[in-house]
A and B are shown apart, each in its own frame.
Chain A
């Protein structure tokens, strides 16, 4: 097991981590500030991918595709907030789950109706289709681009939340939404803007994933589950927590899938190791979440003054 293999797997883990961060940042904000469980977040990821793929097919420019993807999912997020979410804030979480689960089904069928049940074609842009040399290893240029974009997005979120007025309102809303409303802030607009921001982030995750993953109806659900695990581990409402826990989960999941079967083979016979390896690897992040919840129920980086 060489150093270069280890480095590549760490980069893979980092790439998965930033993708998870972009997906979970919006989810945790909506859950933390509006106390709204948004299962349809995975659908926003999917629609971002579809918008970008369709735009890329027509315009042959990845920049245009990215813009369409981001603006499209932000607009979609805004619409969902105004039409569905705003009416349900006062209700029980179960009602949120019911409504947003319905949205999942709706968006999956919508994608199937417009673009068909088969996966939609989206390729990596020509400029990023090769490999680059990084610390002596050869890594896919596009995946490296995802890491760069993800880190830039994280930096942007940090600046937005910590250095701007809107960010101050978001942090205040995260700690105590009632007082924020009582202070005369247009809470309706703020909520819609937060939802749209989260949707835009999910859209970025979707459009960046499009070229390397299959763009098809239902593509949002598997990764949504992992995003929920990430926000539970990081602490609901905390974008900082989402960032760190996304990276941790990304690395654990990748390392588990890469190294666990190898490690198991040292202790067990080949066929048992081959059967147990993938099963354990897929359970690893859930076991980690259970451990975190047992030791720190609020999450690893919870929002203070909750």
Chain B
């Protein structure tokens, strides 16, 4: 009898707590790859998002924000599990983050079908830009292809006639190669797909050396990039055959490469030295708080926090009316750290892509240096296939 009474009191107490919690705060779920070889990317996204919340004084749009962090470990099935946990158990209003494309492809439908808004700040797989687009999905990053189209364009501008391509054997790797080829007008000597997380590229580097290309283009995120660039430089090729890349030498991998990566040309929607006031503040505070320079993943995630803030300002801090929040997100007028930003009809950004080199900065350290815009106000190639207008 006593036990039953205790139980009832406990249950009522819990119910009361959860009710009051709902009324006071907006719950945001952060789902990213926080462990394993690619963990640094998700970590950058999370740290930048939290910095954004901190800049807004712990509130977004005036509402107290509770960010619940979950790690998908780069496993799509685990990503779905974590997403379901965030939606059903934590009852989040928005989910943000999602580092890798394979996880994004798995969680996109469950999240959008459940009526929860998904603000992706990195992965932008092609199927979601066209026919698979959804009104519940916003991206503050890019369509995977666009990132690589910029380097294809740059290869043309630089006059390279024969290029050799390498990428890992998964969706984003395939998007990388097809995106590059869409804009590149010269001859592709070969496209090589290596195993994901393959540590040693000596065989592939020897093959490409024998093919004698004008330049090579690679897409190797995380530790794969560190491995490849190290080995490419040791084979004596870095000075001889230009290395074009995206997401290979970036803010998360440059600290492991330092001077080894000098001379690498990258295509990126962001560079820490972009000249606008919000970026200056972002880079300075990120360096102070986390003791490292922000990568493009951090910048995109910070933008996501600012986007959500701007949208919540419009809805008066309320997240329960999904349609109002959606409309607010779509129109969101916020200032991106990476330059001009607005949403296309498929809710992917229209933005600039820059050529960013690895060179010595004023203090003699290897750093990212913005060398100019390659593609201005660039939209992805698939937005016309999206049903949203």
Contacts and interface: CB of A to CB of B under 8 A. Distances in A.
Interface of A: 1-2, 5, 8-9, 12-13, 15-16, 108, 112, 116-121, 123-124, 129-131, 138, 140, 142-143, 209, 211-219, 222-223, 254-255, 257-258, 261, 274-275, 277-279, 281-282
B179 to A, nearest CB: 16
A215 B256 CA distance: 8
B234 A213 contact: no
A123 B193 contact: no
B16 interface: no
Please list the 4 inter-chain residue pairs (A to B) with the smallest Cβ-Cβ separation, ordered nearest first: A119-B256, A214-B223, A214-B226, A12-B202
Contacts of A8: 206
B207 to A, nearest CB: 6
Interface of B: 34-37, 39-40, 43, 169, 191-195, 197-200, 202-204, 206-207, 210, 222-224, 226-227, 230-231, 234-236, 252-253, 255-260, 292
B199 A258 contact: no
B256 A214 contact: yes
Given A119-B253, A278-B195, A213 B230 contact: yes
Contacts of B257: 121
B39 A258 contact: no
A222 B196 CA distance: 10
Contacts of B193: 274-275, 277-278
B199 A112 contact: no
B230 A278 contact: no
B203 A282 contact: no
Contact of A5 (B199, B210, B234): B210
Contacts of B223: 119, 214, 216, 219
Contacts of B194: 257, 278
B206 A9 contact: yes
A176 to B, nearest CB: 38
Contact of B227 (A1, A130, A212, A218): A212
B197 A112 contact: no
Contacts of A129: 234
A301 B39 CA distance: 40
Contacts of B256: 118-121, 214-216
A118 B199 contact: no
A76 to B, nearest CB: 22
Contacts of A261: 192
B255 A254 contact: no
B227 A257 contact: no
A1 B211 CA distance: 10
Contacts of B39: 112, 117, 217
A118 B43 CA distance: 9
Nearest to A215: B256
A279 B230 contact: no
Contacts of A1: 210
Given A5-B210, A216-B226, A219-B199, 16 more contacts: A5-B206, A117-B40, A118-B43, A118-B253, A118-B256, A118-B292, A119-B226, A124-B234, A212-B230, A214-B224, A216-B256, A217-B37, A258-B207, A261-B192, A278-B193, A279-B169
Contact of B235 (A119, A140, A214, A223): A140
A130 B198 CA distance: 24
Nearest to A12: B202
Given A119-B256, A278-B169, A278-B193, A212 B204 contact: no
Contacts of A211: 230, 234
B206 A214 contact: no
A217 to B, nearest CB: 7
Contact of A119 (B34, B40, B197): B40
B120 to A, nearest CB: 21
A113 B192 CA distance: 35
Contacts of A223: 199
Contact of A131 (B204, B236, B252): B236
Contacts of B36: 217-218
A286 to B, nearest CB: 12
Contacts of A218: 35-37
Nearest to B251: A118
Given A118-B252, A129-B234, A258 B226 contact: no
A257 B192 CA distance: 10
B197 A12 contact: no
9 contacts: A5-B207, A8-B206, A12-B206, A16-B200, A214-B37, A218-B35, A257-B194, A258-B204, A278-B194
B90 to A, nearest CB: 24
Contacts of B253: 118-119
Contact of B203 (A9, A116, A120): A9
A35 B136 CA distance: 55
Contacts of B204: 257-258
B255 A118 contact: yes
Contacts of A274: 191, 193
A261 B40 CA distance: 32
A218 B196 CA distance: 14
A163 to B, nearest CB: 33
A129 B206 CA distance: 17
Contacts of B207: 5, 258
B195 A282 contact: yes
Contacts of A12: 200, 202-203, 206
B192 to A, nearest CB: 7
Contact of A121 (B40, B227, B236, B258): B258
Contacts of B210: 1-2, 5
A165 to B, nearest CB: 38
Nearest to B197: A222
Contacts of B37: 214, 216-219
A279 B35 CA distance: 25
A8 B236 CA distance: 14
Contact of B40 (A16, A118, A215): A118
Nearest to A2: B210
Contacts of B35: 108, 112, 117, 217-218
Contact of A213 (B169, B227, B252, B258): B227
A253 B207 CA distance: 14
